[in-house]
């Protein structure tokens, strides 16, 4: 014998197939995007600190370092791009994803931020390839 409450529940499930039965609430895209952007910001801050540390090490070595100019240039490019991505992420988090008029702009900004993060990764691969060494204090 089927109870009335189970009939109501199965009727709801049949009329709304995208609703999870007795499960978590549906995905809130605004909340998801904000969490994703916050995680990207944390990674961006960590990379920003690492690049600042690398720049300090290169500047301490001075122009006698064999790859001084390319490393300083690459680190400067990486730092500037990271600041741009950080500003983009601030705007992305502030705007409402559910607003149809802003959805295209948000999508474009997300794509731009993703592309810039890819460029930052490539630049940092080259920074690592050239190598940044801390100066020996004992010499």
Q: What tens digit of pLDDT does each residue of 72-88 get?
A: 999 999 999 999 998 88
Q: What is the pLDDT of residue 48?
A: 84
What does the alpha-carbon distance between residue 127 and residue 74 come to, in Å, rounded to a whole number?
Answer: 7
List b or e across 71-104, with b for residues whose CB sees 16 or more CB atoms inside 10 angstroms: bbebbebbbebbeebeebbeebbeeebeeeeeee
Tokens representing 89 are 């992420």
Q: What is the pLDDT of residue 130?
A: 83
Q: What tens digit of pLDDT does each residue of 74-128 get?
A: 999 999 999 999 888 888 877 766 777 778 888 888 899 889 999 999 999 999 8
Domain ranges, ordered by start, for the chain: 29-130
pTM for the whole structure? 0.65
Q: What tens digit of pLDDT does each residue of 34-61 get?
A: 677 677 667 777 888 888 888 898 888 8
Helices of type H across the chain: 4-15, 29-61, 68-94, 100-130
* Terminal C-alpha separation, the chain: 88
Q: What is the pLDDT of residue 120?
A: 94
């Amino acid at each position: 014998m089927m109870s009335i409450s189970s009939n109501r529940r199965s009727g709801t499930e049949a009329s709304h197939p995208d609703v999870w039965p007795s499960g978590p609430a549906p995905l809130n895209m605004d909340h998801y995007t904000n969490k994703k952007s916050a995680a990207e910001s944390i990674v961006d801050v960590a990379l920003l600190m690492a690049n600042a540390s690398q720049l300090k090490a290169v500047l301490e070595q001075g122009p006698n370092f064999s790859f001084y100019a390319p490393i300083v240039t690459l680190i400067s490019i990486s730092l500037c791009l990271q600041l741009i991505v950080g500003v983009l992420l601030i705007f992305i988090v502030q705007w409402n994803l559910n607003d149809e008029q802003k959805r295209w702009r948000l999508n474009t900004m997300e794509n731009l931020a993703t592309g810039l993060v890819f460029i930052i990764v490539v630049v940092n691969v080259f920074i690592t390839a050239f190598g940044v060494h801390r100066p020996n204090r004992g010499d």
